[in-house]
Amino acid sequence: MPNELAKPSEAKDEKPQWNVKLSEIIFQAVAGGGFSAFITLLNTSDLPKLALGGLIGGGAAPIAFAIIEPVSKKLRQGAGYVGDAVASGGENTVQKWWSSLSASERKYLEALQAYCHALEVEGFRGHLPPLALKDVFIPLRLNTDRGHVYGQINIDTTIWQFLPKSGSDEHSSSQYRLAIVADPGYGKTTLTRYLALSYSCPTYEEKGAAKRLPVLLRFRDIHGVVQSTTQPTLDDLVVQVIKGLPNCSELPVTVPWMKQQLKAGKCLVMLDGLDEVPEARRETLSRWTKRQMQEYNSVFILTSRPHGYDASLFQGIGVRQLGILDFTNDQKRTFLEKWYRVVLWCQKWEILYRNSQQTEAQRLSEEQARAQSNDEAQRAADDLYRQVVGHSAINNQLAVNPLLLTIIAAVHKAFDALPERRVNLYRKMFGLLLEDRPNRRDTHLRLKEAAQNQTVLQALALNLTERGETQFTRQQGTEWIKARLAEHCSDRDCTPQQFLKEIEQVAGLLTGGDSNLYQFTHKTFQEYLTAVEIKEQGLRSRLDARLQSDDWKDVEDWREIFSFYAALEGADWLVQAVIAMPEGEKRQQSLLLSRQIVKEEKSQIKQPELCQKLDELLTTTQFTGANVSGATVAKITLEQRFQQMIRLDDQTEITSNPITWGEYQRFLEAQNAGQFHSTAQPQTILPEQLDLPVTGIPEDDRNWFCAWLPTQTSLHTDNMLYVYGVPDSSHHQTATLSENGQFYVLRKAIHPRYAKLLNYLASASWREADQETYRLMITTVGKRDGQWFDRADLENFPCEDLRTLDQLWVQYSNGKWGFSVQKRIWQECNSPMEYNDDWETFGDRVGWRKEERWRDSNSLTYNFQNSSVGEFPSRWGGGDWSGFESIGGLFSFRRGLESMVGCSLFSREDL
């Protein structure tokens, strides 16, 4: 904010008498006619021609009122957010809605749209071109409380499901009180800006939502003026903020008018970032927020990181807590496609297009330029998506939310290849922002080397973190960095103030300089830099002291720092400290932290005996603490199970006990969250059933469970690659299987070369899996990518490799695809051995032929619901199936069939 907010006791009314009278007139109009009457009064009287704008969140202040005439002209011409809606097909509805507004209403909404139009990527703003929020926003999926019915697929879990529907009574708005609690980077702030934008145009009507006036406040902007749980009131606070903004001191907005809107249920109040309030003030802000929810009848949404939200402080007023789910693979693909499409146009093709207009002979049409840009963007997004889903560590742990995907995309754009660990991703990102990017775009940082800039920022981050703060003044920052900066720069112009300005304006890692209240653009950046500083300065004792504290919050508040430090230095010290702890709830919590860091984040333990001891503790500890969730316990017991397998041979093991409902519930939750593409039946699982063996599950659902297991990277402690399956009665350990309906799991080690294929299949990336199958097969016979198989290649193809490929396709498609499936369909088409009607029927059946034309692989659907049975793998039979090449494809396919016979995918009699 440009100015410090005035405290309630210091607020002074210095308005001239004409303004006091004006406020009374306005309040009377509002009381009689509401918001529309207020707008009409502004439009028809001699009042100043002001556009009521509502910023909201981000930037300078919680709410802004401004005149944005250039933007309004552009929007009125159809080039803005509403214009896009018109162009997309709802022209009559949108025009009717837009024309029903008065001129002043339109100005207000245009100002609001203009403010929220741009995507504000907290934590990576400095590296991106201007991006329109509507062009890159991906609807976030919110988790809901579905009782004990697991596996039920909820089609719509976006924010609109939890907001008032069109036609609902405004007086029922108090039923809609939401707390969106999620880890950093999941898009909480972006979601609130998206809602502000949506409620300023007919988008909310398309979602079936009722009209509301959006108000968005950031806790970090307002916590300084909240003096108690009752003061200031929300209406008074909003008006204070308005009056403190540039050019808005005389705006005719009164506390009575704002109070009337809030009490009448006409507002959507969004309070963003409770976790960003200093801990000492967080309870006061929480109680103040609860009081405002009780006082006003409007819709309320607050957001916070988990550690900043105490649900007990909001009891009794119907606040519903929601989380944000990880991106599904479909969301990841869509996000990357949108991101590359917008970024490449802004950074490359729009410039080329404009430059081409200067020479008629080389002039490009905008259509041509956009087509080329979109083609390049699609290829880049496809390449990045393959890298993401081809590495389970990246796909399951890193590429899970908008911020990390943005960082991943920027690193890919700059370096092509991706690191597999989060700490390495942040290391590359800081190099990109502190050295590589600024120098490439003809701006510069005074310190030329990234390491020099980073070490100064590390000193800043540590001082800030140890004080439990996320914000600092210019004076504080100057004091904290001046000594470190002097080590690297003796130039008299190289001042701490100039350094902070460059880091904000060039690198984009700080924000808030205009208001003299800086902060890192994302808290994880502060935490990463703190961890690096602790490592480089030998300050691990700071972490040890927190582990020894009686208050677990001392560790919880530094969880990310513990995680980053262990990734940088190794986790031996942490495991040693946990082993030495006495039994109790604190040891349980520390064990869980160690487990997350070692098992999930793959931080290294250099001493094997420590790793063994950690496994023993995780196996024997009964996690009963109040702070240990059932999901965490189920995850640990699943890990314990697969550390106690019975070995059948060199490659195969079997579980010693049947699968429990608690373990099966984790699989159903992943399915329900869209993290796995299975279609298992939903189950009603009661808490008392969690430790009991699963019974009565269909065979298909058991196979889905086994297919899901490889996606759980914490099960793979020895860096081996496994496939899982349901054993049959030939395995003596499961002789009683058929008597009680319980089921066990078989685990078999396979060659690591299949890792990418398994990841593609597990993530339902069918096109990539098809391409990887061809690559595995063609390289197995000693050829290069792009070549075809000949008769000798397929006749001599190794049987074990063919069986493995078939098994993976069959398992992850639940029997829909695979070589053996294609064989069965081929048999049903009379096993054609020459090109004839039967061969064409086979092509029609498996989807390789459509409307009497053979299709190449690039034209296939690659959709689990819509693709034909037997359609994949598609590339092994000779590449393209079109025209004369279909004969070559036939011969290759025949050789493949003969190879399958020898490998016992089906018997010789089948031919």
Architecture category of domain 8-324 in CATH:
3-Layer(aba) Sandwich (3.40)
Instruction: State the residue for tokens 């074990």.
Output: 800
Other CB atoms within 10 Å distance of the CB of residue 546: 18
pLDDT of residue 861: 85
Tell me the pTM. 0.66
DSSP 244: T
Closest CA to 909 of 850, 823, 836, 848: 823
**Residue at token pair 């063609």:** 778
pLDDT at 101: 58
Q: Looking at residue 885, what is its pLDDT?
A: 41
Pairing relation of β-strands 683-684 and 849-850?
unpaired
Q: Is 553 exposed, middle or buried (0-12, 13-18, 19+ CB in 10 A)?
A: exposed
Contact 422, 567 (CB under 8 A): yes
**For residues 905 and 208, what is the distance between their CA atoms, to the nearest angstrom?**
53
Return the domain boundaries, the chain.
8-324, 327-420, 538-628, 637-754, 765-910
Half-sphere exposure in the Cβ direction for 392 (13 Å, CA): 25
Q: What six digits make up the tokens of 180?
A: 């969106």
Query: In degrees, to the nearest 5, what angle opens at C-alpha 717 toward C-alphas 713 and 721?
Result: 65
What's the chain's length in residues? Answer: 911
Rounded Cα gap, residues 436 and 4, in angstroms: 36
746 contact partners, CB below 8 Å, separation of at least 6: 652, 653, 654, 706, 724, 725, 726, 727, 731
Residue 244: what pLDDT? Answer: 57
| Mode of pairing for the β-strands spanning 299-304 and 177-181 | parallel
Q: What is the 3-state secondary structure (H, E, C) of 577-642?
A: HHHCCCCCHHHHHHHHHHHHHHHHCCCCCCCHHHHHHHHHHHHHCCCCCCCCCHHHHHHHHHHHHC
Strand partners, 269: 215, 300
How far is 870 from 71, CA to CA, in rounded Å? 54
**What pLDDT does 94 receive?**
64
pLDDT of res. 152: 47
The verdict on whether omega for the bond into residue 873 sits within 30 degrees of 0, i.e. cis, is yes
Distance between CA atoms of residues 679 and 70, nearest Å: 52
Residues of the chain with pLDDT under 70: 1-94, 97-98, 100-112, 114-115, 121-129, 145-156, 241-253, 393, 436-444, 514-515, 624-632, 714, 716-719, 729-740, 875-911
Residue 244 and residue 6 in contact, taking contact as beta carbons nearer than 8 Å: yes
pLDDT at position 329, please?
86
Per-residue pLDDT, 42: 35
Region class of 217: left (phi > 0), else alpha (psi between -120 and 50), else beta:
beta
How far lies 763's CA from each of 370, 422, 618, 626, 706, in Å? 31, 20, 29, 34, 14
Residues in contact with 660: Cβ distance below 8 Å, sequence separation at least 6, in sequence order = 637, 690, 691, 692, 693, 694
In angstroms, the CA 893 to CA 899 distance is 10
Supply 128's token pair.
């991106």
- Beta-carbon count within 10 A of 548 CB: 13
Alpha carbon 308 to chain centroid, angstroms: 20
Three-state SS for 154?
coil
pLDDT the model gives residue 790: 79
Q: How far is CA 406 from the centre of its chain?
A: 9
pLDDT for the residue 719: 65
Determine phi and psi for 242, rounding to 5 degrees.
-60, -50
**Is residue 160 classed as helix, strand or coil in its secondary structure?**
helix
* β 267-272/299-304 pair status: parallel
Three-state secondary-structure class, residue 517? coil
